[in-house]
Structure 1
Amino acid sequence: MITPVRVVIALCLVAPFVAMLWVGSYAKTDPAFIGIPFFYWYQMLWVLISTALTMLAYKLWQRDQRARQDTNGGAVK
């Protein structure tokens, strides 16, 4: 069953892949950040963003599973 929560979970997990596969959006040197070209610091920033999005997806998944157990009398289908 597709629910809004599961759509958000999927978006959280897919967003980093789309951001990293769309190389044209970050294949440049400017703007530099403390002397680091954009190409590098953008990717490093996505490491942190990906971690946060994965944690959010996991927490949402746990909450969704608990809600499904409550509505199905303890059994997950």
Structure 2
Amino acid sequence: MVIGLCLLAPFVAMLWVSSYARIEPTLIGIPFFYWYQLLWVLISTALTMTAYQLWKRDQRARHGGER
């Protein structure tokens, strides 16, 4: 369940365009539209890594730690 949420969150965030389709607030002169998407690149990486680690832990638990 948590793994699925980690993988689903970036898709929902990027598909909900009306939440970030604006210019303000700017960050060091970069419009919100751009820095929000770039921030999600980092967030997506962290969430994917978390999902992978959770999946590996689950696989080890299922196989009794033999891997």
Runs ≥4 in structure 1, deviation > 3 angstroms? none
- Show structure 2 runs of 5+ residues with no match: none
Aligned residue-pair number:
66
Q: Write the distance in 1 (CA, Å) between the matches of 2:19 and 2:62.
A: 39
1:55 aligns with 2:56: no
Partner of 1:64: 58
Q: Write the distance in 1 (CA, Å) between the matches of 2:58 and 2:24.
A: 42
Q: Write the distance in 2 (CA, Å) between the matches of 1:64 and 1:12.
A: 15
Q: Write the distance in 1 (CA, Å) between the matches of 2:4 and 2:39.
A: 20
Q: TM-score, normalised by structure 2?
A: 0.95
> Which amino acid counterpart does residue 14 of structure 2 have in structure 1?
M
Residue 70 of structure 1 aligns to a residue in which SS? coil
The CA RMSD over aligned residues, in Å, is: 1.2
Q: Write the distance in 1 (CA, Å) between the matches of 2:16 and 2:63.
A: 39
- Show structure 1 runs of 5+ residues with no match: 1-6
